């Protein structure tokens, strides 16, 4: 349930360095976006200020400064509804419980990095993962907000070896090279689960490098409920999947740095991160250790190895007391969310190809139905990561 970027299968899901977004521009476009958002905010909540009074205030602010500032309640509502609108996320049942850390006064890279570390600690809670977003300074006319270049706050390095192989997460080999070029010192010797530093820019400035303290990274060592040898593989995974390259747009205002997290669904780690050929590619290793016949795809050895990997991940997180959901439970909960949205008179768009889990899709109730088509213009929203 990383949320909605399925590089783990997020952004997840239950299926990478950004360029600058243009600051929100003044004029009719921003006024219209602000008006639409504020009308929704006032229709779904009971703010003390009247809608007419707030609209007058915002229009004057836009006329004078080219932009406007959300109240804390507006920001919280916008961030939560952006999650509710995320068509690729299976975990939207919990949208209204998202904790919003308002850090809009923060834009300096060192301070952004420090708050990202605080986010990891606050959201991790010793394994009782809480859905959290930290919102940094927005884009303003002539003053773009900060950028976090990491796809997620925690990612493992991919080290290129002299023999042409990659040790660690192959997806992040290029990002690892970039970090090294900026001054990051690889661990000696390089490992398979070395946490990458944060790369943070002040607007469009070159990124600065900031290490993540080890005690801020909650990790779970992986074992298997039946095979003791699984521990010898020395696998592990981090507990807080905080997506950090999807800008948040609320009422025409873009917050380019707004890392957010839910919690993992077992398939994201067991069926994607550790299994995909362009990630850790561990199914051949597991097939061999399980004594499976890997001579032909028709033996279904990959399927059997994948299931045992998934069992190990789920077992390990449960044993460690770290929040994790499974694809059967989350599928049921998603349909509960769909029913609630329909009862509230709202559409619930969903991207079928992302909602259906990558393991045993046909055994889950989300497989056997159609959904409203997503509308890319829907706001508030978490925007797609800018192209690398």
Show the beta-strand stretches assigned E in the chain: 99-102, 132-135, 147-148, 158-160, 166-168, 198-201, 208-210, 219-221, 236-238, 242-243, 248-250, 253-255, 260-261, 381-382
Under 8 Å between Cβ of 199 and 172: no
Convert 364-378 to b/e letters by CB count within 10 Å (16 or more is b).
Answer: bebeeeebeebeeee
State the pairing for strand pair 147-148/99-102.
Answer: unpaired
User: Which runs of consecutive H residues, i.e. helices, occur in 89-215?
Assistant: 109-124, 173-181
Three-class SS of 309-376: HHHHHHHHHHHHCCCCECHHHHHHHHHHHHHHHHHCCCCCECCHHHHCCCCCHHHCHHHHCCCECCCC
Annotated catalytic residue: which of 7, 249, 268, 341? 268
Our answer to whether residue 268 is catalytic in this structure is yes
Rounded-to-integer distance, Cα 114 and Cα 1, Å: 25
Annotated catalytic residue: which of 83, 184, 237, 263? 263
Our answer to whether residue 263 is catalytic in this structure is yes
Annotated catalytic residue: which of 17, 89, 116, 348? 89
Under 8 Å between Cβ of 331 and 352: no
Largest CA distance in the chain: 72
* Burial (CB count <10 Å: 0-12, 13-18, 19+), residue 28: exposed
Is 348 annotated to bind a ligand? Reply is no
Annotated catalytic residue: which of 15, 54, 80, 92? 92
Between the CA of residue 5 and those of 26, 73, 341, what are the distances in Å? 30, 26, 22
Our answer to whether residue 130 is catalytic in this structure is no
234: alpha, beta or left, given left = phi > 0 and alpha = psi -120 to 50? left
Our answer to whether residue 92 is catalytic in this structure is yes
List of long-range contacts for 294-301, beta carbons under 8 Å, 24+ apart: none
- Mapping DSSP to helix (H, G, I), strand (E, B) and coil, where does residue 237 land? strand
Output the known binding site: 89
Query: What are the catalytic residues?
Result: 89, 92, 263, 268
Output the known binding site for heme: 89
């Amino acid at each position: 349930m990383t949320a909605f970027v399925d590089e783990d299968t997020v952004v997840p899901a239950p299926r990478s360095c950004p360029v600058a977004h243009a600051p929100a521009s003044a004029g009719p476009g921003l006024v219209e976006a602000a008006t639409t958002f504020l009308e929704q905010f006032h229709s779904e909540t009971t703010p003390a200020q009247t809608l007419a009074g707030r609209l007058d205030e915002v229009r004057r602010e836009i006329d004078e400064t080219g932009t406007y500032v959300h109240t804390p309640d507006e920001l919280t509502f916008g961030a939560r509804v952006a999650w509710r609108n995320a068509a690729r996320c299976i975990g939207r049942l919990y949208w209204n419980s998202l904790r919003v850390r308002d850090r809009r006064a923060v834009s300096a890279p060192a301070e952004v990095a420090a708050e990202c570390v605080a986010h990891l600690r606050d959201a991790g809670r010793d394994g009782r993962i809480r859905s959290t977003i930290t919102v940094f300074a927005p884009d303003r006319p002539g003053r773009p907000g900060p950028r976090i270049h990491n796809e997620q706050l925690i990612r493992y390095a991919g080290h290129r070896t002299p023999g042409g192989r990659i040790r660690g997460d192959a997806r992040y080999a290029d990002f690892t090279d970039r970090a090294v070029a900026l001054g990051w010192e690889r661990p000696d010797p390089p490992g398979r689960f070395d946490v990458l530093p944060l790369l943070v820019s002040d607007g469009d400035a070159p990124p600065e490098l900031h290490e993540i303290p080890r005690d801020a990274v909650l990790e779970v060592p992986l074992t298997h409920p039946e095979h003791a040898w699984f521990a010898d593989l020395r696998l592990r995974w981090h507990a807080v999947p905080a997506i950090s390259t999807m800008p948040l747009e609320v009422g025409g205002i873009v917050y380019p740095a707004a890392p957010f997290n839910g919690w993992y669904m077992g398939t994201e780690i067991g069926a994607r991160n550790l299994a995909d050929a362009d990630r850790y590619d561990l199914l051949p290793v597991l097939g061999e250790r399980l004594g499976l016949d890997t001579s032909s795809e028709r033996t279904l050895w990959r399927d059997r190895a994948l299931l045992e990997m998934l069992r190990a991940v789920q077992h390990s997180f449960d044993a460690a007391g770290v929040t994790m959901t499974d694809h059967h439970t989350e599928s049921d909960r998603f349909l509960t969310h769909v029913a609630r949205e329909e009862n509230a008179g709202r559409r619930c768009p969903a991207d079928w190809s992302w909602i259906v889990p990558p393991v045993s899709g046909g055994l889950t109730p989300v497989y056997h139905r159609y959904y409203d088509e997503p509308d890319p213009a829907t706001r508030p929203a978490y925007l797609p990561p800018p192209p690398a």
